[in-house]
Amino acid sequence: MPPKGSKLGPPSAPAVDPDSPAAQQQKEFTQGISEFELPKTTLTKLAKGAIPDNVKMQQEVIMALMRSSTLFINYLTATAHDQALARSGKSITASDVMKAITEMDFGPADNLVPLLEVELAAYRALNQSSKSSKSSSTTTKQPASTGRARGRKSNVTEQGADEDEDDDAGLADQSGIMDEDDR
C-alpha cells in the first residue's frame, strides 16, 4: 500500500502471460464441443442411407448434421445423467435415457420411446443369444485337465451361464423395460 496522502493508486494486478504454465495448462484441458463430434465418415454413411440415391449432400449439410447430432447426444446425456442422479445412481441406464427423451418432449409427440423400446429389446435379445452361444461353445470345447493350469482362465459351466441370464433378466426388470418374451 502506498503511504497515506500519496497520489499513487493501489497496486495493479500483474499482467497475465499467455505463455505461463497455467495458461498453457488451461488451453490443453479446455474442451470444446468440436472435440466430441461423431466421425464424419460414419455420419455420412448413415445420412446417405436415409436419403434417396439420386440426392447429393453438400459439405455444409454434413457439418450441420455432425454438429447437431453432437449437440443432441450431449444434451440427451446430460438429461439422462440428471435422471440417474435423481434416483441416486452413478451410471446412466436405458430407463434413464427413456425418461430423458420423454422429459425433452421427444417421446410422446414422435412415438420415439416405443420405437426405442423395440430396438432395445432386439439388442438385448441379440446379446442374450450371443451369450448363450458363447457359453454353449465353451462348455463343449473344455479341454481335459492335464495337471496344473497356467494363467487365471476360468471355465464357464452351464450353471454359470444360467446365472448370467438371470442377472440380465434382473437388469431388464430394474430398467422398467421388458423384452417381448416377458410381456
Query: Is the model more confident about 28 or about 51?
Result: 51
Q: CA 60, CA 34: separation in Å to the nearest integer?
A: 15
Average pLDDT over residues 23-29: 70
Angle CA 63–66–68, to nearest 5: 105
**Higher pLDDT pick, 21 / 158:** 21
Rounded to 5°, angle at Cα 167 from 162 and 170: 130
Q: Point out the least confidently predicted range of 1-5, 89-93, 149-153.
A: 149-153
Question: What is the tens place of the pLDDT at every residue in 144-172?
Answer: 545 444 444 444 444 444 444 444 444 44
Give the phi and the psi of residue 132 in degrees, each rounded to 5: -70, -35
Are the CB atoms for 70 and 36 separated by under 8 Å? yes
In this prediction, residue 123 carries a pLDDT of: 95
Whole-number pLDDT of residue 108: 60
> What is residue 97's predicted lDDT score, i.e. its pLDDT?
92
User: How confident is the model over 108-146, as pLDDT tens digits?
Assistant: 656 888 888 999 999 999 999 998 888 877 665 555 545
Whether residue 96 has pLDDT greater than 70: yes
Kindly list the distances between the CA atom of residue 81 and the CA atoms of 84, 172, 175, in Å, as whole numbers in the listed order.
Answer: 5, 19, 15
CA geometry: angle 72, 74, 77, nearest 5 deg: 105
pLDDT of res. 155: 43
Residues 6+ apart with CB under 8 A from 7: none
In 11-144, beta strands by DSSP E: none
Q: What is the pLDDT of residue 129?
A: 92
As given in the structure block, the three cell numbers for residue 30 are 479446455
